[in-house]
Structure 1
Amino acid sequence: MTTTPVETSSPSFDADALSATARDHLWMHFTRMSSYADSAVPTIVRGEGARIFDSHGRSYLDGLAGLFVVQAGHGREELARAAYEQAKELAFFPLWSYAHPPAIELADRLASYAPGDLNKVFFTTGGGEAVETAWKLAKQYYKLVGKPMKHKVVSRHIAYHGTPQGALSITGIPDAKKWFEPLVPGAHKAANTNFYRAPEHGDDLEAFARWAAEDIERAIVMEGPDTVAAVFVEPVQNSGGCFPPPPGYFQRLRDICDRHDVLLVSDETICAFGRLGTIFACDKFGYVPDIITCAKGLTSGYSPIGAAIVSDRVAEPFWTGGASFPHGYTFGGHPVSAAVAMANLDLFEREQLPQHVLQNEGAFRATLEKLTDLPIVGDVRGDGYFYGIELVKDKATKETFDADESERLLRGFLSRALFEAGLYCRADDRGDPVVQLAPPLIVGQREFDEIESVLRSVLTEAWARL
């Protein structure tokens, strides 16, 4: 491999001791803990701009913005300062029948960014909680308006919507759910927008758009429109490798939801806050949902917060009469997190980060598409600064890897090799094997070229091993 991590300074950490303590006590998320029985735990100790640094002092390009989160880049002192100043003033108070200025100001600002009549903001601490909130809200809304049978949801195959029991039910990844069943009943699945592997109309993008939207309608009709409360979709579906919507898809889906009196929930946990070049991704694709769920990039990861942004129509039964929404989180709308979010959005506007993405997304795509000359690269897809590269055994037939081959390719080689070559990103097989990329929004052509160079070297070696 031609690229190696750059050692920038002598670390001030005992890397071996940190790794041993991590193995003994730290239960890492979505991690096969046995994989570190005989190897060191990678430990990240610092970030600066688009780079992260490990406990050995080595530098890596952060090609995933932490976890689709660090939009403004690492080490932004103004965001840390905002947290400090707010913690001095008011470190904590709940939103349970009381308000505080940071939450009020942030709710007002999010409402000003949101499309249509999405003016009511319910704060959570993350995206999964926002999805959980949206489903519970949809159920209660329909009970309050005299349609108590409407409680089911439709989402898409392979889609990921979070880990709480309700959000996990909405998730469309069987392996993510099998250990926790039975889950919340009433969650049903329909087609996603993976045109590369379209089961119908694989030669006609517009026809595929109609078919994919109408498959959601088929699910609604099959369950009975009088029982379906909401459809949950990501603007660009993450799991499976960045499936963008084909032209006209969301307009047709909006019409379907209106026709059957079903709420359209745009899960923008990843796609909001500049990831695709707009504050809210629904604006980029020209549709107005009934609820937006969001988190991650709202603070660029400097403090945890999430939100469900709700239309006036859906909120109306809760704003009149005696109804309340008996749901909430201790740390939802935390004053420190809300203050950091405000500072982060100030930074977005001052540095024009969404506009930067729109100006450079074509160059990012073009740079990644250079990799299509490799025999292992089947498809490059995505939008903005959010891309997936699907890996195949045979480009002509689109033959994918079986489970054992995928295990050896992704976990046995690619994940470690990419990191060792100086690129932090994700090799994922929740669906067909892909490499996912979502760098901080501050990057440009120099980082695009570095990503392409590392991927070319590592994927070439992976193909040779196969």
Structure 2
Amino acid sequence: MCSHHDPNDHVFYRNPTKYYPQADRGEGIYIIDTQGKRYIDGCGGAVVVSIGHGSHKVREAMLEQADKVAFTHGSQFTTRAARELAARLAGMAPEGLNRVYFLSGGSEAIETSIKMARQYQVDRGRGGKYKVISRWSSYHGNTLGALALSGHTGRRKYYQPLIQHTPHIGPAYCYRCPFGRTPDACGLECAEELEKAILYEGPDSVSAFIAEPVVGATAGAVVPRDGYFQRVREICDAYDVLLIVDEVMTGVGRTGRNFGIDHWGVAPDLLVCAKGLASGYTPLFCVIASEEIHRTIQEGSGAFVHGHTYSQNPLSCAIGLAVLDTIQEEGLIQRSAEMGQVLLDALQGLSSHPIVGDIRGLGLFAGVEFVRDKQTKAPFAPGQKIHARITERAFAHELIVYPGSGGADGVHGDHILLAPPFIITRDQIAEMVDILDRVIGEISAELQEEGAL
């Protein structure tokens, strides 16, 4: 039994007012608690679990590496596990990206990419370039530097006095186009706004532009239209600005390709990867850099002025290799593409509910956005916490989904993310969607009774 009322529980929970059941074990797409309840992990925790829970292959790799050496510091040694994993990732990454810097957290990896971009600019004699442009309705992490780049008012408001000002532009969000366009009349204004921002800031002061290929936590699997990232790449090239893609959620097969950016055939300069790299078996993230960035730092300062204790951790790297082996041997990236289409097709049935405004996604990465009025797309008042109500009700029905808010304007807007393990079956997808259908129906009826619709 786990509860905030338990005097023997000394954990500082993320939400100290909430009751958390105690997880006992994981099997495939399920997490089982100590009461025997069996939950469908419909969002892979926080879009993390790709190969499923309870992998024996990962367990064996973990034990084998632990029997050799579990920890070495990245300033003193390299290891076979680190070298092999870097080679595998370089082989998977977009063209030109072939140097891998390992880390143990997403926010840590984002800030590493920003510092890497900055040192590259200094080492090539362009020390005036320091600004990083990002987008509203984005999320890049919770540390202060990553939060400065994130475009989510609700997550930023407590810490605003501590956050460095960074320039933001509008998102590529077709359902709520910031430019009032419809897809058939789109002139990629959201991409053109990057050029305007670079010119306003001064091209000689802009180091990089960072974006998620598919927006995750803050807007719920928002997929840009074709042409967006191609145009962004052109603009970055024209003004000597680095393109950083945040693939913390979308990397390693989540969207049905190696990386989300692969859908548009664009090669960034830096790629931040990825919750799915270790499928939750260990904290393992990385930045994959171009040879040009690596060479410039090597020939300039001679060393990247940066480091973390668990960078290049051999135990984590061995686990990452076992996860990639599993993904390759079981064809799980192709399966993510196929099952992702099954999931998106099944979710379309939810559009009959009065509060479902939009359903979207790519691969096994899908979002459902909720609205008070379908015609006007008007969101619910933030205090109604529709995303939380739906998530809690689904949890009571033993389905875990990932809630989000603020997609409409940083404060208003409700959605859920669905990102189950790639091993999910058609029947399990049908069960997930059936539970959601029931839950959304119940809450729609309650909102009508409350006069909130």
TM-score category (smaller protein):
over 0.9
Deviations 1:405-440 (A, max 9, x none): 2x2x333x3222110112101222132101211111
* Equivalence for 1:8: none
Say which of 213, 229, 243 aligns to 1:264.
243
Gaps of 5+ in 2: 408-412, 448-453
CA displacement at 1:204 relative to structure 2? 2.9
> 1:151, 1:186 within 8 Å by CA — same for their partners in 2?
no
Change (3 A) 1:206 1:293: farther
- Counterparts in 2 of 1:127-206, with a 5 A limit? 127-205=106-184
Deviations 1:119-165 (A, max 9, x none): 11111102111100010111111111111110011111121101122
Is 1:244 aligned to residue 223 of structure 2?
yes
CA displacement at 1:19 relative to structure 2? 6.3
* Equivalence for 2:442: 461
How many angstroms apart in 2 are the aligned matches of 1:416 and 1:178? 25
Say which of 404, 416, 421 aligns to 2:397.
421
- Counterparts in 2 of 1:387-406, with a 5 A limit? 387-405=366-384
Change (3 A) 1:440 1:23: farther
CA displacement at 1:321 relative to structure 2? 4.9
Is 1:83 aligned to residue 62 of structure 2?
yes
How many angstroms apart in 2 are the aligned matches of 1:386 and 1:221? 34
Is 1:219 aligned to residue 200 of structure 2?
no
How many angstroms apart in 1 are the aligned matches of 2:439 and 2:404? 15
Say which of 275, 281, 296 aligns to 1:296.
275
CA displacement at 1:348 relative to structure 2? 0.7
* Equivalence for 1:358: 337
> 1:195, 1:205 within 8 Å by CA — same for their partners in 2?
no
Is 1:25 aligned to residue 1 of structure 2?
no
Kindly provide the amino acid, as one letter, of the partner of residue 443 in structure 2: A
Kindly provide the amino acid, as one letter, of the partner of residue 457 in structure 1: R
Change (3 A) 1:205 1:323: farther
* Equivalence for 1:435: 416
For this pair of structures, how many residues does the alignment match?
A: 441
CA displacement at 1:277 relative to structure 2? 1.1
Counterpart of 2:186 in 1: which secondary structure? helix
Change (3 A) 1:363 1:21: same
How many angstroms apart in 1 are the aligned matches of 2:279 and 2:163? 31
CA displacement at 1:55 relative to structure 2? 1.9
How many angstroms apart in 1 are the aligned matches of 2:93 and 2:32? 36
Change (3 A) 1:335 1:448: same
Kindly provide the amino acid, as one letter, of the partner of residue 195 in structure 2: E
* Equivalence for 1:381: 360
Kindly provide the amino acid, as one letter, of the partner of residue 27 in structure 1: F
How many angstroms apart in 2 are the aligned matches of 1:320 and 1:188? 31
CA displacement at 1:105 relative to structure 2? 1.1
Say which of 32, 43, 59 aligns to 1:64.
43
Counterpart of 2:167 in 1: which secondary structure? strand
Deviations 1:300-352 (A, max 9, x none): 11111110000011111222255211101111121011001111111111000
Change (3 A) 1:205 1:231: farther
CA displacement at 1:175 relative to structure 2? 2.0
Change (3 A) 1:328 1:206: farther
* Equivalence for 1:6: none
* Equivalence for 2:212: 234
CA displacement at 1:241 relative to structure 2? 1.3
Kindly provide the amino acid, as one letter, of the partner of residue 435 in structure 2: V
Deviating more after overlay: 255-264 vs 357-366: 357-366
> 2:119, 2:297 within 8 Å by CA — same for their partners in 1?
no
Change (3 A) 1:219 1:96: same
* Equivalence for 1:326: 305
Say which of 183, 186, 208 aligns to 1:207.
186
Gaps of 5+ in 1: 1-14
How many angstroms apart in 1 are the aligned matches of 2:76 and 2:360? 45
* Equivalence for 1:5: none
CA displacement at 1:445 relative to structure 2? 1.4
Kindly provide the amino acid, as one letter, of the partner of residue 438 in structure 2: S
> 2:339, 2:422 within 8 Å by CA — same for their partners in 1?
no
How many angstroms apart in 2 are the aligned matches of 1:91 and 1:456? 46
> 1:23, 1:41 within 8 Å by CA — same for their partners in 2?
no
Kindly provide the amino acid, as one letter, of the partner of residue 297 in structure 2: F
CA displacement at 1:361 relative to structure 2? 2.2
- Counterparts in 2 of 1:279-290, with a 5 A limit? 279-290=258-269
How many angstroms apart in 2 are the aligned matches of 1:253 and 1:449? 37
> 1:241, 1:387 within 8 Å by CA — same for their partners in 2?
yes
How many angstroms apart in 2 are the aligned matches of 1:205 and 1:50? 39
Deviating more after overlay: 429-438 vs 148-157: 429-438
CA displacement at 1:275 relative to structure 2? 0.3
CA displacement at 1:201 relative to structure 2? 4.7
Say which of 324, 341, 346 aligns to 1:345.
324
